Structure 1
């Protein structure tokens, strides 16, 4: 298929149908009539020699061929849009743009309040979606445009993914108030003699703190493995277990002083939090504006 023989507007229709799953809704989004969208779909089917979408009730289900090309289509449309949008065109005060983030629970609690407070003051019509995805899917989701940003620890990513250090956080240890073994404070011997909670989305394998402990030739005893710091924090409150977690989130959870926060008794490097985005949106005015603000807010919290 030669590109000069293809009407690129057809790909805009393709993306709208894929996103909406319905011809009527796609027509509304595109400000076209439904017959016009149906005609465009017929031309797309002819170009690809594939139905692309199959009706199931009121929905248009994408075929395997449609699923195989959707990311490339979205990526290409985003690149074209970026070339047509000068930096000065983004009116953040009047924009109703929606940005999608991939955040883990710790970063939702520590980053979203400050970010939303800023947006509510300066760009009240911009909205945010926060979701959690497997790390293996970050690149494909950023490339497809379904995801605008990801905030996470330093990850091994390709050159297509740009990232920058946003903030750092130290690890601290949480114990219940009046823990019977910690009247004199917490040293490394007391730390290793107690049972611990490990918070991880994985069902097995060490945590970041265990990697660092192993570099010192040390190993702790894990009594509970769970998925969320909030749950672990509540368990600590009613047990003698210790919890190692990021300091910023620990202060938020311990605002009422239910537990005691101790410094980590062994030297461990701070956790680096990076902001990730795809190279295709490097020059997108809205994306660039928001990521600059995120980095400004993040840098102000560096420890």
Structure 2
């Protein structure tokens, strides 16, 4: 790599680098940056010359990062976010005029509960803001907050490093759902009936017990899992057409009960509630736009979970 001389480096090249890395495609990167594809290709050529490395190589219909690109991407993103925060410090943020893109890491439960009120609020106050909701593995959330790949995350209580801040949104009790004409719907759902029934387990993991199974195992009990799937919406559609039971967060169950077809019962065993928190990196505190969005999220998400 050539000697570094920032006075001779176009820092916009790193904005292009980040866009290509995120999109994996020159055309989509150009659309993201509102540039022509030749302009993006020219910027990539200059970066390749600067680093003496291809940085991205064709893979199928996209562009795959080289080992060097993977090695520098986090530092590039942190530097870009620091520059953006520096430029934003002390500047008033006007939501009605803003056109930024923000990224939230959230699982399907939080998307279902929180996005409708949040987007209704954003459309009124900041109609040109774009919000992206992604599913990020929990083990990667803190790293992606630090690198700027995501701005916020809404998830259960997690261990955090010193540079990550968080605030509670609410506590979610767990409940049991079944179809409205289920054989058990007119009887008290006790532990014997619960463990005798077949269940749906929602999990992003390929295998392993759910929180309900840990509680059952502690008392020497177990249950039969007839279906393991990835999201609660699909699980509830199965519950509506079968005798399977589904244990899930109360807010989600109440929202889906409005559509009819299911009833809600208390879980007949001691389950700890889910503590849901909003997470962000400390550097976000210096960005008025992120702090404004944080407040909208705290209001919308906390309100939706009541």
Which residue matches 2:281? Answer: 278
Check whether the contact 1:13–1:37 (CA below 8 A) recurs between aligned residues. Answer: no
Q: How does 1:286-297 map to 2 (within 5 A)?
A: 286-297=289-300
Which residue matches 1:85? Answer: 88
Query: Relative to structure 1, is the Cα distance of residues 40 and 129 closer, same or farther in structure 2, using a 3 angstrom cutoff?
Result: closer
1:249 has 2:252 as partner? yes
Which residue matches 1:50? Answer: 53
Query: Relative to structure 1, is the Cα distance of residues 301 and 269 closer, same or farther in structure 2, using a 3 angstrom cutoff?
Result: farther
Which residue matches 1:19? Answer: 19
Larger displacement relative to structure 2 (223-232 or 114-123): 223-232
SS of the counterpart of 2:150?
A: coil
Task: Give the drift of 1:119.
Answer: 0.7
1:73 has 2:84 as partner? no
TM-score (norm 1): 0.84
TM-score (norm 2): 0.83
Check whether the contact 1:167–1:301 (CA below 8 A) recurs between aligned residues. Answer: no
1:208 has 2:211 as partner? yes
Check whether the contact 1:165–1:272 (CA below 8 A) recurs between aligned residues. Answer: yes
Aligned with 2:138 (options 127, 132, 135): 135
Q: Structure 1, residues 3-39: CA drift from partner, whole Å, max 9, x if none?
A: 983338534312314414549x76994989x789958
Query: Relative to structure 1, is the Cα distance of residues 30 and 242 closer, same or farther in structure 2, using a 3 angstrom cutoff?
Result: closer
Task: Give the drift of 1:79.
Answer: 1.4
SS of the counterpart of 2:270?
A: coil
Check whether the contact 1:161–1:278 (CA below 8 A) recurs between aligned residues. Answer: yes
Task: Give the drift of 1:296.
Answer: 2.2
Unaligned segments of structure 1, at least 5 residues: none
**Take 1:3 and 1:279, find their aligned partners in 2: how far apart are those partners?**
32
1:120 has 2:108 as partner? no
**Take 2:93 and 2:69, find their aligned partners in 1: how far apart are those partners?**
32
Query: Relative to structure 1, is the Cα distance of residues 235 and 91 closer, same or farther in structure 2, using a 3 angstrom cutoff?
Result: same
Task: Give the drift of 1:55.
Answer: 8.0
Query: Relative to structure 1, is the Cα distance of residues 82 and 35 closer, same or farther in structure 2, using a 3 angstrom cutoff?
Result: closer
Task: Give the drift of 1:162.
Answer: 2.3
Name the Cα RMSD after superposition: 3.4
Check whether the contact 1:10–1:41 (CA below 8 A) recurs between aligned residues. Answer: no
Which residue matches 1:157? Answer: 160
1:218 has 2:215 as partner? no
**Take 1:60 and 1:256, find their aligned partners in 2: how far apart are those partners?**
43
How many positions carry a matched residue from both structures? 302
Check whether the contact 1:166–1:295 (CA below 8 A) recurs between aligned residues. Answer: yes
Task: Give the drift of 1:280.
Answer: 2.8
1:6 has 2:9 as partner? no
Check whether the contact 1:95–1:123 (CA below 8 A) recurs between aligned residues. Answer: yes
SS of the counterpart of 2:10?
A: helix
Query: Relative to structure 1, is the Cα distance of residues 76 and 3 closer, same or farther in structure 2, using a 3 angstrom cutoff?
Result: farther
**Take 1:227 and 1:120, find their aligned partners in 2: how far apart are those partners?**
30
Task: Give the drift of 1:58.
Answer: 11
SS of the counterpart of 1:89?
A: coil
